[in-house]
Amino acid sequence: MQNSKFYRNIPFTYSRIKLHAGKRKKTVYPVFNKAKRKKGEKAKIENENNDGVEKQLALIYEKLSNMLTKNDTSFLKQIVKDTICELKDDLLKPLIHRIEIMESDIMGQAKEIEKLKDELAKKDTIIESLGTDNKRSADRAKSDANYVDKVTNDLEQYGRRNNIRISDIKDDPSS
């Protein structure tokens, strides 16, 4: 039993079972390191190991605290919405600018088209009035031509009444 105090603080690597008087008895054989460790050094090493473990646990805790859980769905939704809004703004700014330029061009062209429509309507009314004037002039010219034909025909017929007709007289070319 005196040896049991001695062996308590030493790490054991293997044990052997012996039979003593028909009973099994476990005998433990300690393995000693070449450099003997003192209790203080062993505690220091354990503290260092504990500090390393604590540091690793702190890192793991920090990483886990940054991870999202199932309860963070509203937070995730907000992050996704914000990201989509930023992307939409970045992608749509040039398109919106181009659309605004095209709209201003279209508005300018629409004003020009309205002006041209007004001019076309004025010219159509002028053409219609000229057409009716031309038709009247043509009708007047026809009626004047008919009147002139009638007057010339009358003058020819009534002007011959006073003319004398002589026949069988030969013209003398020498006279």
Read off the pLDDT of residues 20-42 as tens digits, 9 standing for 90 and up. Answer: 555 555 555 454 444 445 555 66
Token match 């190991």: residue? 49
* 104 and 153 share one domain: yes
- CA atoms of 127 and 133, how far apart (whole Å): 10
18 neighbors 27 (Cβ within 8 angstroms): yes
* 93 and 138 share one domain: yes
How large is the average pLDDT for residues 67-71? 68
Q: How many structural domains compose the chain?
A: 2
Let me know if residue 12 belongs to a domain. Answer: yes
- CA atoms of 10 and 28, how far apart (whole Å): 11
What pLDDT, on a 0 to 100 scale, did the predictor assign at position 118?
96
Q: Where are the alpha helices (DSSP H) in the chain?
A: 2-8, 39-66, 73-160
* 41 and 93 share one domain: no
| pLDDT tens per residue, range 82-113 | 999 998 888 889 888 999 999 999 999 999 99
* 63 and 96 share one domain: no
32 neighbors 39 (Cβ within 8 angstroms): no
* 56 and 8 share one domain: yes
Range of the domain at 141: 89-158
Let me know if residue 78 belongs to a domain. Answer: no
Let me know if residue 145 belongs to a domain. Answer: yes
What pLDDT, on a 0 to 100 scale, did the predictor assign at position 35?
47
- Whether residue 16 is predicted with pLDDT greater than 60 in this model: the reply is no
What pLDDT, on a 0 to 100 scale, did the predictor assign at position 148?
93
- CA atoms of 157 and 152, how far apart (whole Å): 9
* 62 and 6 share one domain: yes
Let me know if residue 84 belongs to a domain. Answer: no
Let me know if residue 93 belongs to a domain. Answer: yes
Establish how many alpha carbons lie within 13 A of residue 137's alpha carbon, considering only the half-sphere containing its beta carbon: 6
* 61 and 99 share one domain: no
* 51 and 96 share one domain: no
Let me know if residue 166 belongs to a domain. Answer: no
pTM for the complete prediction? 0.37
